[in-house]
């Protein structure tokens, strides 16, 4: 199956700093990438949909100025958490969608963000 990587796998940062998380589709071109947030023992919450070359579409309640998403190429999307605060600590997961087979997304391994 298709492979999606995320980097870093875990990161600790201080409150007020920004953190960038990369999501790469390694062996296919992703027309769309999705960013999810997952709290402990909870389901995945879709944050935003990222289409290559266009602005991301954010779900209701997600601050677009805080969670900056860039999808500069068909294999790379980045999520930048700006001015991070402890409440931003979470598990962030990306997925990539090729658009060829309906809804068949491939998920990255996730990034654990801890803000101190």
Partner 1 sequence: AQSVTQPDIHITVSEGASLELRCNYSYGATPYLFWYVQSPGQGLQLLLKYFSGDTLVQGIKGFEAEFKRSQSSFNLRKPSVHWSDAAEYFCAVGAGSNTGKLIFGQGTTLQVKP
Residues near partner 1 (CB under 8 A): 1, 4, 6, 32, 34, 41-44, 46, 49, 91, 93, 95, 97, 99, 102-110, 112
Q: CA-CA distance, 110 to 22, in Å (whole number)? A: 10
Kindly state the smallest distance separating residue 89's Cβ from partner 1, in Å: 14
SS3 18: coil
Kindly state the smallest distance separating residue 107's Cβ from partner 1, in Å: 4
Q: Of 42 and 116, which has the nearer Cβ to partner 1?
A: 42
Kindly state the smallest distance separating residue 9's Cβ from partner 1, in Å: 9
Residue 36 neighbours by CB distance under 10 Å: 20
Count, residues in the chain: 116
β-bridge mates for residue 21, sequence order: 79
């Amino acid at each position: 199956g298709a492979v999606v990587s995320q980097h870093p796998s875990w990161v600790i940062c201080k409150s007020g700093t920004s953190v960038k998380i990369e999501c790469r589709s390694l062996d296919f071109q992703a027309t769309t990438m999705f960013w999810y947030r997952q709290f402990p023992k909870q389901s995945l919450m879709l944050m935003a949909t990222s289409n290559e070359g266009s602005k991301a579409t954010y779900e209701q309640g997600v601050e677009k100025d805080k969670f900056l998403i860039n999808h500069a190429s068909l294999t790379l999307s980045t999520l930048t958490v700006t001015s991070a605060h402890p409440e931003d600590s979470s598990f962030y997961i990306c997925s990539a969608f090729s658009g060829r087979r309906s809804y068949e997304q491939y998920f990255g391994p996730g990034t654990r963000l801890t803000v101190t």
